[in-house]
Amino acid sequence: MFQFWDKKQLAFTLVALLAGAVAVWYSTLYAQRVAVAELSGLAQDRLLLYESTLDAALNRDRYLPFILAQNPEIKALLRQGGDPGDINRYLEAVNAEAGSASLYIMNARGITVATSNWRTPQSYMGHDFSFRPYFHEAMRGGRGVFYGIGVNTNLPGFFFSCPIGQDGHLIGVAVVKVELQRLQKEWREGGETVFVTDQNGVIVLASREEWVYSSLVPRDAQALAAIQAQEQYRGVELSVAPARQGQRGAMTELSMGQERFLMGSRPLEGLGWDIHFLEPAHKVEEQGRAVAGIEVVVLLLLALLFFLVRDRQLRRQSRRKALEAQRMHQINQQLAAEVEQRRRKEQQLQETQQELIHAGQMAALGQMAASVAHELNQPLAAIRMFSANSQIMLERGQRQGVRENLETIHELTGRLAAVASQLKSFSRKSAGSHQCLDLRQPLHHALTLLGHQAQSMGCRIDKIEPPEPLTVLGNAMHLEQVFVNLLQNSLDAMAGNPRREITIILRRANGWVEAVISDSGPGLSPEALERLFSPFFTTKGPGQGLGLGLSIIHGIVEGMQGEIRGENLQQGGACFTVRLPWRQDA
Ligand code: ADP
Q: How many CA atoms lie within 13 A of 298 on its CB side?
A: 10
Query: Which of 459, 482, 489 to mutate for ligand 1's pocket (most ligand atoms within 8 Å of CB)?
Result: 489
- Could you give the CA distance from residue 517 to residue 252 in angstroms, rounded to a whole number? 116
Does residue 540 line the site of ligand 1, with CB under 6 A? yes
**pLDDT of 348-403, one tens digit each?**
888 887 777 777 666 666 655 655 665 577 678 778 888 988 999 989 888 898 99
Does residue 137 line the site of ligand 1, with CB under 6 A? no
Quick one: pLDDT band at residue 424, thresholds 50, 70, 90? low
- Could you give the CA distance from residue 95 to residue 433 in angstroms, rounded to a whole number? 143
Quick one: pLDDT band at residue 322, thresholds 50, 70, 90? very high
Question: In a 3-state reduction of DSSP, which class is residue 243?
Answer: strand
How large is the average pLDDT for residues 440-462?
A: 89
Atom of ligand 1 nearest to the CA of 539: 14
Does residue 539 line the site of ligand 1, with CB under 6 A? yes
Residue 215 contacts residue 232 (beta carbons within 8 Å): no
Report pLDDT for 419.
66
For ligand 1, atom 4: residue with the closest CA: 538
- Closest to 124 (Cα-Cα) out of 108, 133, 112, 109: 112
Report pLDDT for 494.
94
Does residue 477 line the site of ligand 1, with CB under 6 A? no
Quick one: pLDDT band at residue 31, thresholds 50, 70, 90? confident
Report pLDDT for 219.
66
How large is the average pLDDT for residues 307-317?
A: 92
For ligand 1, atom 14: residue with the closest CA: 538
- Could you give the CA distance from residue 446 to residue 442 in angstroms, rounded to a whole number? 6
| Rounded (10°) angle between helices 282-395 and 476-493 | 60
pLDDT(426) > 60: no
**pLDDT of 337-350, one tens digit each?**
999 999 999 888 88
Provide the greatest CA pair distance for the chain: 217
pLDDT(1) > 50: no
pTM higher than 0.85: no
Q: How far is the CA of 492 from the centre of ligand 1 (A)?
A: 8
List the single range of 282-291, 372-381, 517-526 with lowest mean pLDDT: 372-381
Query: How many helices (H) does the chain have, and how many strands (E)?
Result: 13, 20
Whole-number average pLDDT of the chain: 86
Atom of ligand 1 nearest to the CA of 573: 24
How large is the average pLDDT for residues 550-560?
A: 88
